[in-house]
Structure 1
Amino acid sequence: MSVYTHLTRQDIEQLLTHYDIGDLISFKGIESGVENTNYFLDVDKKSHLQRYVLTLFEYLPADTLPFFINYTDELKAFGLPVPNPVRDKNGIALQSVKGKPALIVQCFAGQHPDASNLSLDQCQQIGTMLAKIHIAGQGSALYQENQRGLSWLDDQQKRLSPLLDQDDASFMTEHWKNISNALKAFDKLPKGLIHGDLFHNNVLFDQGRISAVIDFYQACNDWLIYDLAVTVNDWCLTETLELNSKRTKALTEAYNHIRPFSDDEKKAWPLMLQLAAFRFWVSRLITFVYPESPLDEEHHDSLVRHFLDPNEFKEMLKLRLDSSSIKSI
């Protein structure tokens, strides 16, 4: 993700003294993404080279992170391919680097799928995987409030409106009101632990099969069907930001085969697609027009900041508002 916090070789080597994973060979900041700082770490232990990912959390407070550690531990125990954090010599996963909470996870084999050429088979696989993640989460005693939930969206759209041009501000205010009012009819939708950010760049494929689902740092308790909408809005897009009907069908039917939809979820589907588009429009606007991250001024010139254009989700929302164009699930 964007490198907000600059680390030197000495910083990383000092961190690795707490672990028994080997000696640092090289490291590299990961430039893609938005909210956290990530580095690839290549380490050598007894002539065995292994790659890890070091994540520094720019937004999430340290007291929220044990949830993510425990959640990925549970998913791993459920047999799902997720990167649970590496423990140090004292069995501790959560560290602090330059005043930021930090975790190290093992890097999995595989590559992110090509967003411009996602196949029906890949969509089927991710639909099945997401349903398994949801089933595993429904059996968990863990709980985490959605830090990007409805109350946050309400606060942020009020905060952002003065920063937007008049057309965008009016569009945001009007449709947030419409979406939030419509949601009142669906207060009993099935809930559980969700990934919250299952975009194609948070999945790895190796030899045609999913090798890992990564980046659970938006995970929380929320509507399961909303999590599916977030996923479909990314995996099933056409070049014009509409939904590809064949990929959408492949993904949702694969999901439904593992965890069947309730009648209310089917009715709420068009609204959930709108909510998912709105949520990512807002979060990308924040980092694009009003950055929140506390920048490391000492290394300001070496920061790598990668902001994703929020207009994609604004245009997507406009398309999702036409419910007649959305096929039922």
Structure 2
Amino acid sequence: MSVYTHLTQQDIAQLLTRYDMGVLTSFKGIESGVENTNYFLDVDDNGQLRRYVLTLFEYLPADTLPFFINYTDALKASGLPVPNPIRDKRDVALQSVKGKPALIVPCFAGHHPDATNLTVNQCQQIGAMLAKIHRAGQGSSLYQENQRGLSWLDAQQQRLIPLLGKDDAHFMAEQWQSICDALKAFANLPTGLIHGDLFHNNVLFEQGRISAVIDFYQACNDWLIYDLAVTVNDWCLTDAFELDGQRIKALTESYAQVRPLTRNEQKAWPIMLRLAAFRFWVSRLITFVYPETQPGNEQEENLLRHFLDPNKFRDMLRKRTELLFGINT
């Protein structure tokens, strides 16, 4: 779902009075994403039409957002194509709209790649781009704990299991124990700042090249190899939830050309693919089972809801486990 908080033209026009951006001509809720409210804003800046994205954060507390602002500023300064926030007349990026923290960022040219036809070339590009993002963040003084890390997953799987059917509940408990046990062997993997959500719909291409990497709101400090696994599980996925050999080779090899993997990371690769699938199964289930109703948004016509199927990641996790152990779970 992408629009939890309904805004009127007057609400947005009032917000823009804080900026030197121009006059609002139109706006539209964005029907993608899961956790935040997003709007396209078309603004007339002295006769030149510019497009921006307004994001209202439905779950992230305001005190976590300076990290994302500083991180995207740093990536932009490193020459990477990321949308860092627009500052208002007082040089302030973080705003409040209807009691929600909010940011405005530029809207980059380009289109999301077709999920049904992700190419080897696109995977090569995103592998190299992810490694550049990791390189740019290594050694940074910025720090953000992973809000969807192991402790969160542990708490959420306990919360969800009583609500699931018998088979899914058993599978979730079994998988979580197995993953936790396996991770004990990998305490010293390289860490750094990660994107955390580098799915194909968070990348734009124009004329065959990456024009932007967007939506850094899951960014945090964590294992770099985990971020690579999250990316591979999306970009290299087949219709049967398996991994396409050519695409995974292209993506991981192009990544390693920029940031070579350690031997320990290579050993941890199978468990990271499982952890990535488990994480998104849990987070999609949370959104599906506990849809938040925002105050003032009771009327259905004021909401655009697009739930993403959590079972995709359950089935993906099953495939990753079968691949590792050669058994049916």
TM range, smaller chain? over 0.9
Other-structure match for 1:102:
102
For residues 16-45 of structure 1, what are the alpha-carbon distances to aligned partners after superposition, in whole Å with 9 as ceiling and x for unaligned?
000000100000001112100000000001
Instruction: Give the structure 1 partner of residue 255 of structure 2.
Output: 255
Change (3 A) 1:296 1:188: farther
In the aligned structure 2, how far is the partner of 1:49 from the partner of 1:43? 6
Matched, 1:265 2:265: yes
Distance in 2 (CA, whole Å) between partners of 1:69 and 1:278 is 28
Checking the alignment, whether the CA contact within 8 Å between 2:4 and 2:297 is kept in structure 1 is no
* Pairwise CA distance, 1:301: 3.5
- Between 291-300 and 253-262, report the one with greater CA deviation: 291-300
2:12 alignment partner, SS class: helix
- Structure 2 distance, partners of 1:82, 1:293, is 31
CA distance in structure 1 between the partners assigned to 2:276 and 2:104 by the alignment:
29
Counterpart for residue 53 of structure 1: 53
Name the residue aligned to 1:320. 320
Counterparts of 2:179 and 2:121 in 1: how far apart (Å)?
A: 32
Partner of 2:65: 65
Identity %: 75
Counterpart contact for 1:192–1:221, Cα < 8 Å: yes
Which residue identity is paired with 2:278? F
The residue identity in structure 2 corresponding to 1:193 is L
TM-score, normalised by the number of residues in structure 2: 0.97
- Give the match for residue 163 of structure 2: 163
User: Could you tell me whether the CA contact under 8 Å between 2:41 and 2:53 is conserved in 1?
Assistant: yes
The CA deviation at 1:298 is 5.0
Letter in 2 for 1:169: A
1:77–1:123 CA distance, 2 compared to 1 (3 A): same
**Mapped partners of 2:136, 2:94: distance in 1:** 23
Query: Normalising by structure 1, what TM-score?
Result: 0.97
In structure 1, stretches of 5+ residues that fail to align are: none
Match of 1:96, as an amino acid?
A: S
Matches within 5 A, 1:58-97: 58-97=58-97
Counterpart of 1:181 in 2: which secondary structure?
Answer: helix
> Contact 2:4–2:303 (CA<8 Å) still a contact in 1?
yes
Aligned with 1:186: secondary structure? coil
In structure 2, what is the Cα distance between the partners aligned to 1:3 and 1:26? 16
Contact residue 205 and residue 212 of structure 2 kept, 8 A: yes
Structure 1 CA distance for aligned equivalents of residues 196 and 311 of structure 2: 20
Q: Is the 8 A contact 2:297 2:303 kept in 1?
A: no
- 1:305 Cα shift? 1.1
Q: Could you tell me how far apart the structure 2 residues matched to 1:35 and 1:13 are?
A: 24
Report the CA distance between 1:294 and its aligned residue. 3.4
Tell whether the 8 Å contact from 2:6 to 2:297 is kept in structure 1 after alignment. Answer: no
Instruction: Identify the residue that residue 38 of structure 1 maps to in structure 2.
Output: 38
Quote the Cα distance in structure 2 between the aligned partners of 1:275 and 1:324. 13
Query: Residue 299 of structure 1: CA displacement?
Result: 4.6
Kept after mapping to 2: 8 A contact 1:4/1:304: yes
> How big is each residue's C-alpha offset from its partner over 1:172-225, in whole Å with a ceiling of 9 and x where there is no partner?
011101101110110100000000000000000001100000000000000000
The Cα shift of 1:302 comes to: 1.4
Q: Aligned runs of 1:273-284 on 2, under 5 Å?
A: 273-284=273-284
In the alignment, the residues of structure 1 paired with residue 324 and residue 143 of structure 2 have an alpha-carbon distance, to the nearest angstrom, of 36
Cα pair distance change 1:324/1:152, threshold 3 Å: closer
Q: Is 1:140 matched with 2:136?
A: no
Bigger drift between 28-37 and 69-78 goes to 28-37
Aligned amino acid, residue 232 of structure 2: V
Q: Secondary structure at the match of 1:322?
A: helix
CA contact (8 A) 1:6 1:299 kept: no
Q: Which amino acid aligns with 2:202?
A: N
Instruction: Supply the distance in 2 between the matched residues of 1:53 and 1:254 (Cα, whole angstroms).
Output: 31
Residues 47-96 of structure 1: CA deviation (Å, up to 9, x unaligned): 00000000000000000000000000000000000000000000000000
- Summarize deviations over 1:302-327 as a string: whole Å, max 9, x none: 1111100100000000000124489x
Instruction: Give, in whole Å, the separation in 2 of the partners of 1:100 and 1:191.
Output: 31
> SS of the residue aligned with 2:184?
helix
Unaligned runs of 5+ in 2: none
Give the residue type in structure 1 aligned to 2:52. Y
Q: 2: CA distance between counterparts of 1:252 and 1:298?
A: 45
Q: Is the 8 A contact 2:284 2:310 kept in 1?
A: yes
